[in-house]
Structure 1
């Protein structure tokens, strides 16, 4: 599969480009970015072509990996799908439900596969744990804390990201927490949200259709010494914690590419596809509306 990379920022540099160039079943064909000089530099590091025209790249490849802000990703994912390209996307899928639906619709109409890179869902030990707990059932409640130090660590390369500054932890790390809880506890019937705590810290409570409840604490403003992720489940089987990942981001993204290859070959949607990411986008948008004085998810 010939694949192109859209994006040249820190995430593209540390995750996407190394994973694509090192994958044995991918032909990393080239890079396009909104800054041509950055595209040329990243392409040069990996010995591939830098494209000035995104449509020219789409015409030359079978798939694209996207490392761009959510609004830009949504727009280009629709264009890529219509050009017949399979989609390896990042979270969040889009900044609005309407844009997310447009991506899902374009992929379905074009018959292309999609996979969204929720990092935890492509790390072997956490994903095995999620599968095990989903099969066990009988959960009473879940609790997730996803605390980042993006805005408190002076050396964090993502601190200057405009979309993270605008959207905060709800949209940046919220997808990670939800991608773990939803497969285990099921869809939420109701969502409540409150912004208590420093900076962008938010709290969500979900009432799941399974009868279980869950709570999420999300922040990019945690002190560096307090940063980290935790998910706890309590139910008939007792208490269990999401295991820590022992692998880096490149192996995880390599597995995401494997999943895209499988979905493209078999025609069977991956459970972490754009449709799943749209469900998460709907929850995030509902929580955002609540934080702005809107209404509950129904």
Structure 2
């Protein structure tokens, strides 16, 4: 399959570009970026305009801010291209809905890069939950990524903070563990550290979430703990690198395209997670 990348930020260099280059069943056709000089070292052709890139490929992978992604992905979908979307899939819920409508109209396959879902340690954890009635769960993601480092210069991450960037990952895992998130019960945000404390409803169960990307901790902390009649299960392992997760994602994306069967992490999944984000924002959390 011929795939091109839109965007040349840290994610393109760390995960998408290397994984596409190394995959035996993919031709990494090229990249388009608003700042073409940032794309020079991705080892592929740098296109002068986005339309030329879209026309040259079968699928487009995105590594751009969510507000930009919604517009450009719709452009690709209108030309019948499959899409690999970053999370969150759009800047607003309305844009996310329009994007999913475009996927449905095009009749193509989509996938959202919920990276940790493609790690073997995550899959082992989720498989261990089968056959039990879990009563509650907690999800935590704490990092200092916005205090310094390659992602700290990302404007959309600085503005959206942990809720927009790592929130979808944690919401997704809790949704898998306890069943679909149906509502947001409460939220609180510490502005200085951008620490979100959120309570989620899952039908007849609840989970709690703590998120921050401005907490000085190294390495980052990702922990999901589930409790119930099966005792306690914990996921705290992040040893699988993002590029390896992306390789597995590509394998499953190709299989989805081949069979015509939407993946569990399709754009529809992205819309569900965007709905959760919107419910958090609508509660207007008290600040400290």
> Normalising by structure 1, what TM-score?
0.92
Hey, what does 1:296 align to over in structure 2? none
Residues 136-179 of structure 1: per-residue CA shift (max 9 Å, x gap) = 34111000111111133x3x111111111111111111011011
Q: Does residue 77 of structure 2 align to residue 76 of structure 1?
A: no
Hey, what does 1:165 align to over in structure 2? 158
**Partner SS state of residue 224, structure 1:** coil
- C-alpha distance in 2, partners of 1:80/1:132? 39
Hey, what does 1:101 align to over in structure 2? 97
* 8 Å CA contact 2:172, 2:273 repeated in 1: yes
Over 6 Å off, 4+ runs: none
- Number of residue-to-residue matches in the alignment: 285
Hey, what does 2:120 align to over in structure 1? 124
* 8 Å CA contact 1:129, 1:243 repeated in 2: no
Q: Does residue 152 of structure 2 align to residue 175 of structure 1?
A: no
* 8 Å CA contact 2:4, 2:28 repeated in 1: yes
Q: Which of 61, 64, 82 is the equivalent residue of 1:65? A: 61
Q: Does residue 202 of structure 2 align to residue 202 of structure 1?
A: no
**Partner SS state of residue 121, structure 1:** helix
**Partner SS state of residue 195, structure 1:** strand
- C-alpha distance in 1, partners of 2:91/2:197? 19
* 8 Å CA contact 2:3, 2:57 repeated in 1: yes
Q: CA deviation at 1:199?
A: 2.1
Q: Which of 30, 40, 45 is the equivalent residue of 1:49? A: 45
- Alpha-carbon RMSD: 1.5
- C-alpha distance in 2, partners of 1:137/1:169? 31
* 8 Å CA contact 1:195, 1:291 repeated in 2: no
* 8 Å CA contact 2:183, 2:276 repeated in 1: no
> Normalising by structure 2, what TM-score?
0.95
**Runs (5+) with no aligned partner, structure 1:** 294-298
Higher deviation after alignment, 194-203 or 21-30: 194-203
The aligned runs of 1:26-41 (5 Å cut-off) are 26-39=26-39, 41=40
**Runs (5+) with no aligned partner, structure 2:** none
Q: CA deviation at 1:74?
A: 1.1
Hey, what does 1:253 align to over in structure 2? 246
- C-alpha distance in 2, partners of 1:130/1:204? 22
Hey, what does 1:12 align to over in structure 2? 12
* 8 Å CA contact 1:71, 1:94 repeated in 2: yes
Q: CA deviation at 1:128?
A: 2.9
